[in-house]
Amino acid sequence: MALKIYISGEYFDKEDAKISVYDHGLLYGDGVFEGMRSYAGKVFRIKEHLVRLWESAHAICLQIPMTPDEVAKAIQQTLELNGIKDGYIRLVVTRGAGTLGLDPNLTSNPRVIIITDRITLYPKEFYDNGLEIVTASTIRNHPQALSGRIKSLNYLNNILAKLEGLKAGCVEALMLNHKGDVAECTADNIFLVKNEAVLTPPIDAGILAGITRAAVIDLAKASGRHVREMTLSRHDVYTADECFLTGSAAEIVPVVKVDNRQIGTGKPGPVTKDLLARFRRETGA
């Protein structure tokens, strides 16, 4: 059965799901999105995802033509229509069709798109053995140019860093901010473990306020561990006892080597393993 894609109140087969070539989402990356996971038919932290989506839209003066409750209902219906219980949801809101000029006031009918599918971002061996990443020369967008808290459709900054990682034989790459401090990876937030404490860059480092990041912070605190959101350097990464990444698609994946430097023992550490186990218990994954 062909997957059904939701576009502004209608369902289309995957092959027939189309929007206008004049949509500013296509022409200029003018729009916002969220990536979510469903476990046993329930969307993980959907309220937090929708709050972030509405904040991103508000920040770029984009009016979403639905209420959060209507979007949540449409997501659930799309999952059920496609028979997906454990899967990935991509929720997209574009500016709508307009002209070839930048003026967003000349656009109309913002499009709400819901794609539900099954996804495995990383192979099981990465969760078992850890992955290797490199630091990209491409930095995160300057926050006075584009806030990292806006999850916009323009991901070229991240793609350029991703290309650097791939050319180095790595599936992820670490990005620094304009100050040279650790920010995040191309699609994931980053955490370190040092002397049992769990460390991660603060929001003002120019990072996306990850939903899974917040869940892991909650789990770490609930486990009695000390959690610090603090400025981190590459030195902190290199000398950490453990390192792991978080994201809706990735969940929690350990990192055992950065810039060809071994992290800790070179194997997924006990804190990472414990937090991953706690996360899977919470989600039922």
Catalytic machinery residues: 151
- DSSP code, position 140: P
Q: How many CB atoms lie within 10 A of CB 263?
A: 26
- DSSP code, position 16: G
Query: Pick from 13, 25, 180: which is nearest to 81 by CA?
Result: 13
Residue 207 and residue 139 in contact, taking contact as beta carbons nearer than 8 Å: no
What residues does 245 pair with on adjacent strands? 190, 253
Question: Strand (E) positions, the chain?
Answer: 4-7, 10-13, 31-39, 42-43, 87-94, 111-117, 131-135, 172-176, 182-185, 189-194, 197-200, 227-229, 242-247, 251-258, 261-262
- DSSP code, position 139: P
**Angle 121-170-142 (CA atoms, 0-180°, nearest 5)?**
90
Rounded distance between C-alpha atoms, residue 4 and residue 96, angstroms: 21
Rounded distance between C-alpha atoms, residue 247 and residue 230, angstroms: 19
